[in-house]
Structure 1
Amino acid sequence: MSKIRLRAVVLPGGARREAPYGKAGRMSEVARDAGRERRREGREGRAVRRARAAVTAVFAVNGALIAAFAVRTPSLKTEHALTAGLLGLLTALVGVAALAATQVAGRLAARIGSAWVVRIAAVALPLALLGVGLAGGPVHLAAAMLLVGAANGLLDTAMNAQAVMVERAAHRPIMNGCHAAWSIGSVAGSLTGGAAAQAGMSLTTHYLILGAAVTAVVLVVGGRLPAEEPSAGPSPARTDDGAGRRGRRAGWARRVLLLGAMGAAVLACEGAVITWSGVFLHEDLGASLGTASLGLVAFTAWQTAGRLVGDRLSARHPARVLVRSGAALAAAGLTAVVVAPTPILAVAGFALAGLGLATPLPLIFSAAGHAGTEEGGAGATAAVARLTTMTYSAMLLAPALVGRVAEALGLTWTLALLVPPLVTVAWKAPVVARTPSSSTPPVVAAGVPDEAL
């Protein structure tokens, strides 16, 4: 039996242990290296899982806040004695501020990181809602509405960019699950907001309780959000004219524009269904008010169900297949709605449309974010911001446009006009195809140094 030479190893406290040289020593070094690699991979996997849970929680929080805001609109109108016209104007301010905020989200993320944009906006949004409750007059209320829109625009853009970052680190789709969490949070916010209204709770008390709960959640998950390094380049104000023009064009790539047009078509149809499904069932098909509400319920329920399984479908099938089949299914659903002779068949058509529209928008957001990652995390945020600008515009304009066209053509034919845009989305579905880089660095929670892993 061959002899193995030993060397002395000093242990803590001055103790000495003999360690082997030779083949056995080399094998032990390899084993230790393999063990360290396994532990490092395990820590990275846990970091990715924590980041995914954190981003998903942010989506749920955003859905709950927006639903709590929307469901208390009648209370807002009563408490502030608003006319219908003034309420409409104040609501429009929210959309205008959100659109403006998406324009600065990318530049803000480039300076401080999208994780910090999420943290700040997620706390600012409930504070802005509290400002709505505390407003003493129309001017103060208008200022609070502007803050609500700006905070929501920043949060919407940054949290979608964060989801893209987690997708790239995990090498698996998560965007559908995040949007499903938004829908579930929206249901929770609607139910609690309705209960608060039924109990006679003031807006101030409701939003104070909601804000405290949301702030607690943000404090827990905020440190687990994936962090990217802010851009080290010069600020836009100090660049030359050419660089400034490039900065203003950031995120407006041809593919992002096409994805934005597709997302706008999807959200225009969604906005039209949300606003007009009940009116169509009640006035055109003669449904009772209770039955008329089932159109939106069916649409939302099936859309949420589709998003809950959307990530598993995305892992098994190409994105273009899911977008094409989803848009085609939604087009078939709306076609069934406009030709339905009875309210129940129309409700089934709205359910089919909701299922079809479950996956296209999350996959479009994901594709836009991946298209922007060549410029780093801030590039993803800029691309998502451009997409959000286009989709927000469609969401705001579509219901009003449907109303105007319906005056001339009738609501049935107007809903029928939503089918061709969905067919176009199905036709252009290959645009969403993308292959995330295999060299994506691991997600690291903000503020955690690499050596801590």
Structure 2
Amino acid sequence: MTVQAASTPSFVSPQRLAVSLMFLANGFLVGSWAPKIPEFATRLALDESALGLMIMCFGIGSLCAMPLVGALISRRGSRLPVLVLAAISVTALPLVTMASTIVSAACALFLFGAVTGGMDVAMNANAVEVEKRMHRAIMSSCHGFWSLGGVAGAGLGGLAIAWFGTTAHALAAAALIAIAVVLAWPRLLSDPPPAASDDATAGTAGGRRPNLFTAGATVWLTGIICLIMMTPEGAILDWGALYMRQELGASPALSGLAFGAFSAAMATMRFLGDIVRDRLGAVTTFRVSAGLAMIGLGAAGLAPSAELAVIGFAVAGLGLANTVPIAFSAAGNLPGMPQGVAISLVTFMGYSGILFAPSVIGFIAEHTGFAPIYLGLPVLVAIPLAFSGLMRHADRGERPGTD
């Protein structure tokens, strides 16, 4: 009989702190880009359409890098890609800041998107490995650190640009990211890729070889779940303020709370999500979260006032906070599927929801308005809810405190 205290894993480890620091740095880098956009557009004389195309270079870079990094993880593990991409990311903001032509700016944004998107895949894969070693959930808090980094990057970046200028801001942000890389380098979990025989039998009873068709279908379904669950985030980020201004008569200050309340609620719940998931299990946590998201989105669409819409968006943030982290954990634990390939595919599909779905939503809203959009999103979320049983793979391994 195993002694209970001896089998209980530590809540904090150097490896957990290191991968959390990488999420924080990645979010800080992306957040630091947001306050640079107005100056970037002015410097290059870009109108709204041209700026949209330039920002698309960032998204294309991310989507191109994700499958390549996934393949690399399957061969070399996640540690080296995380650290190399994090080191390269130190140059991202300075390069964008120094770009003086359309071509150089497009190339800089493509590289920016590639290193942040590729790093996203690698650090999620590393977080899955830390979860396995610790036998407890950490993915939601890792994404919470990403959200915290994004808020810090955007908030501090705006002040730094106002006080010291864009070049000083870019160099200061790069220095902070470099410090994070140095601190994480010796502590990040080393996870050599499993042998082919381990991949073939992982997670199966008696070592039976899993059905590759079933594994492939499962990872695609998990990717679709991520795409759907990240679509409302893009819908609120890009269109929430406009919905409140045009259809609910909100002031500029109040309309800004649409995404503010959503993101604050999401960040808060992500830091609580691991505790909830360890207690309830991944499937139950996902179902409760999806239900909250449906209620919040529906309430925002039905809201008779801007104030009630803000509450609806906040409830949606509470619900959506932990669905994607759970899906990433499930993808990283799918039996018979290389971890890097599974996570890169799920990440690719999920971020496609944020990058491209808002454009579709904008086209539809021209004919219907935004209220029907937010009322329709809960119907879309019902699809992941129907397939929530797939999230059981996120619970793979020993539960904390078990013998």
**Partners of 2:58 and 2:114 within 8 A in 1:** yes
Is 1:430 matched with 2:389? Answer: yes
Bigger relative contact order (CA 8 A; separation at least 6): 2
Deviations 1:384-425 (A, max 9, x none): 001011011111111111100001111111222211111222
Distance 2:38 2:164 in 1: 12
Q: Which amino acid aligns with 2:216?
A: A
SS in 2 for 1:199: helix
**Partners of 2:92 and 2:108 within 8 A in 1:** yes
Residues 1:199 and 1:48: Cα distance change in structure 2 (over 3 Å): closer
Distance 1:52 1:168 in 2: 11
1:446 corresponding residue in structure 2 = none
Q: Which amino acid aligns with 2:16?
A: R
Give the TM-score normalised by the residue count of structure 1.
0.80
* Deviation of the 1:220 alpha carbon: 1.3
Q: Which of these residues, 308, 311, 321, is aligned with residue 345 of structure 1?
A: 308
1:178 corresponding residue in structure 2 = 142
Residues 1:325 and 1:269: Cα distance change in structure 2 (over 3 Å): same
Residues 1:321 and 1:136: Cα distance change in structure 2 (over 3 Å): same
* Deviation of the 1:67 alpha carbon: 0.5
Is 1:275 matched with 2:238? Answer: yes
Q: Which of these residues, 61, 83, 95, is aligned with residue 97 of structure 1?
A: 61
* Deviation of the 1:177 alpha carbon: 0.5
Q: Which 10-residue stretch deviates more, 278-287 or 251-260?
A: 251-260
Q: Which of these residues, 193, 197, 201, is aligned with residue 161 of structure 2?
A: 197
Is 1:162 matched with 2:122? Answer: no
Q: Which of these residues, 315, 331, 334, is aligned with residue 371 of structure 1?
A: 334
SS in 2 for 1:398: helix
Distance 1:424 1:363 in 2: 16
Distance 1:48 1:192 in 2: 28
Identity, in percent, stands at 34
Distance 1:46 1:299 in 2: 32
Residues 1:356 and 1:47: Cα distance change in structure 2 (over 3 Å): closer
**Partners of 1:252 and 1:386 within 8 A in 2:** no
Distance 2:298 2:41 in 1: 36
1:139 corresponding residue in structure 2 = 103
Q: Which 10-residue stretch deviates more, 118-127 or 156-165?
A: 118-127
Q: Which amino acid aligns with 2:396?
A: P
**Partners of 1:250 and 1:383 within 8 A in 2:** no
SS in 2 for 1:229: coil
Q: Which of these residues, 333, 342, 351, is aligned with residue 383 of structure 1?
A: 342
Distance 2:384 2:66 in 1: 24
Question: What RMSD over aligned residues (CA atoms) do the two structures have, in Å?
Answer: 2.3
Distance 2:62 2:135 in 1: 31
Distance 1:340 1:136 in 2: 46
Is 1:229 matched with 2:188? Answer: no
Distance 1:47 1:429 in 2: 27
Is 1:414 matched with 2:373? Answer: yes
Paired residues in the alignment total 379
Q: Which 10-residue stretch deviates more, 49-58 or 77-86?
A: 77-86
1:310 corresponding residue in structure 2 = 273
Is 1:265 matched with 2:223? Answer: no
Residues 1:120 and 1:251: Cα distance change in structure 2 (over 3 Å): farther
SS in 2 for 1:223: coil
Residues 1:395 and 1:413: Cα distance change in structure 2 (over 3 Å): same
2:113 corresponding residue in structure 1 = 149
Distance 1:200 1:170 in 2: 43
**Partners of 2:262 and 2:316 within 8 A in 1:** yes
Distance 1:294 1:138 in 2: 33
1:59 corresponding residue in structure 2 = 23
Q: Which 10-residue stretch deviates more, 112-121 or 282-291?
A: 112-121
1:216 corresponding residue in structure 2 = 179
* Deviation of the 1:231 alpha carbon: 6.9
Q: Which amino acid aligns with 2:321?
A: A
Instruction: Extract unaligned runs of 5+ from structure 2.
Output: 1-5, 197-211
* Deviation of the 1:315 alpha carbon: 0.8
**Partners of 1:126 and 1:207 within 8 A in 2:** no
SS in 2 for 1:253: helix
Distance 2:65 2:306 in 1: 40
* Deviation of the 1:58 alpha carbon: 0.5
* Deviation of the 1:128 alpha carbon: 2.0
